[in-house]
Amino acid sequence: MWLDASGARCWSASLGAGSFALTPGMVKRGCNSRVPDGAKNLQIMINGITLSYLTYTPSDDNASSYIPARDFVLQVGSSRSTRLAQQCMERCIRTHAQCPKPQQVELPTRVIDCSDVKKPKLILGGGRRGRYAALSYVWGGPQFCTTTENIHSLVHEGIDNHTLPQTILDAIRTTNSMGIPYLWVDALCILQDSDTDKYTEIGRMRMVYRNAHVTIIAASSAKAVDGFLQDRSAPPHTRLPFHCPDGRLGTFSLLPDAYIESEEAEPVDTRGWCLQERLLSPRALIYTSSTLQFECQMETVNVGGAVCPPSRIQRATNTWLGCGSVIYPAISFAKGDSARRPRTHTTHRLGHGQRPMVKSWPLTNGRPKVRYPCIVRSLRGRVMRGDTPQCASTLWRRRCCDADH
């Protein structure tokens, strides 16, 4: 099949004793899909039955001026993917009024210095200010390299890369390539043999993810040893010629529309902790099984301009308040901050808008049930406007919470 920029052609043909009519057409993607501006589908109608295909082409193809969507980025660990991710972040910072501007925040109690990827070091961040990334991932079993009584050697001698699981190694590499000095990882930044430290630091995790410059989400990794920077496989597609209006011949790819809408859940999608970390993060790089995504308060997009399915996360900015940003200034890590509440506030009860956000997330992880209020309880602190006199906090409905205690 040959197709021009309009796609307005029709064929009729005979097939044995019968006949069929084929009508192709290029249509703009629906507003429910997260796609590049102007992206189109190719719809083919055969005797009243409509088949719909995503259309995309490389940026250097002759057809790229007429087909906005691009090929999927498959080399997610490449310098190109890093550059594309940085472009997404820069565009967000420059143009998204509802997304927080980066700032030098107070570092968590401990962070990993990623300036030397071959010899990362654990440093004590208390009192220091700077930028850091946070890792959201699935442990998938016991971790053999954690911070315990060995903290002094990790601080003074550095961390032996050979002992780290691949996901943490990939996160250190990603943090360094993004130009971010520090990384927070729970296994290394919380003393795993100290109940007191666990209690204190887990209580601060809301602040850790809320203050992070970006959260690195290892969505495709079922275990910490898996890593997430491996090259991805290309989706099943068909490449066809494309007649451009200027007379040049280009090419474009077709991918069944249903393919991208029916992608399976990622390993992180089964963890309530990971959902909480994602919702709290101002910005995130999501390493899915198919490509690299950038997510902020305004959008979820595939880096490089590839077609992106609708986000299954309903952002708190739109869902909970139905108005502008709920982002508040960076939270202090001072002692007792996690228990503070604004003196003057208005309350908002959870309504129907919140339930779909959590219920649509597959949180069972093989267990009979997980009561969803416990998953987002620490999100209460996020739903407030700390930069205005009116600071909203969340009031959970009794029928949602009583059974969870």
Q: Model confidence at 30, in pLDDT bands (50, 70, 90)?
A: low
Q: Model confidence at 175, in pLDDT bands (50, 70, 90)?
A: very high
How much is the average pLDDT of 11-36?
Answer: 52
Q: How far apart are CA 328 and CA 18, in angstroms?
A: 66
Tell me, what amino acid is at 384?
M
* Tens-digit pLDDT profile for residues 280-297: 999 999 999 999 999 999
Q: Which of 94-98, 177-181, 354-358 is the least confident region? A: 354-358
Phi-psi region of 266 (alpha: psi -120 to 50; beta: other; left: phi over 0): beta
Q: For residue 36, give both structure tokens.
A: 């590049």
pLDDT score of 145? 79
Q: Model confidence at 260, in pLDDT bands (50, 70, 90)?
A: confident
Give the residue carrying structure tokens 């309350």. 347
Q: Is residue 82 within 8 Å of 94, Cβ to Cβ?
A: no
Q: Model confidence at 146, in pLDDT bands (50, 70, 90)?
A: confident
How much is the average pLDDT of 62-82?
Answer: 94
Q: Model confidence at 43, in pLDDT bands (50, 70, 90)?
A: confident
If 0-12 CB within 10 Å is exposed, 13-18 middle and 19+ buried, where does residue 298 land? middle
How much is the average pLDDT of 147-162?
Answer: 79
* Tens-digit pLDDT profile for residues 307-362: 876 665 655 544 443 333 343 344 444 444 433 333 333 334 444 444 444 444 45
* Tens-digit pLDDT profile for residues 183-210: 999 999 998 888 898 999 999 999 999 9
pLDDT score of 371? 37
Q: For residue 243, give both structure tokens.
A: 């007649």
127 pLDDT more than 70:
yes
Highest mean pLDDT range out of 7-21, 93-107, 262-276, 335-349?
93-107
Single pTM value for the model: 0.76
Percent over 90 (pLDDT), the chain: 43
How much is the average pLDDT of 69-84?
Answer: 96
pLDDT score of 126? 77
How much is the average pLDDT of 23-45?
Answer: 66
Q: Model confidence at 400, in pLDDT bands (50, 70, 90)?
A: very low
135 pLDDT more than 60:
yes
17 pLDDT more than 60:
no
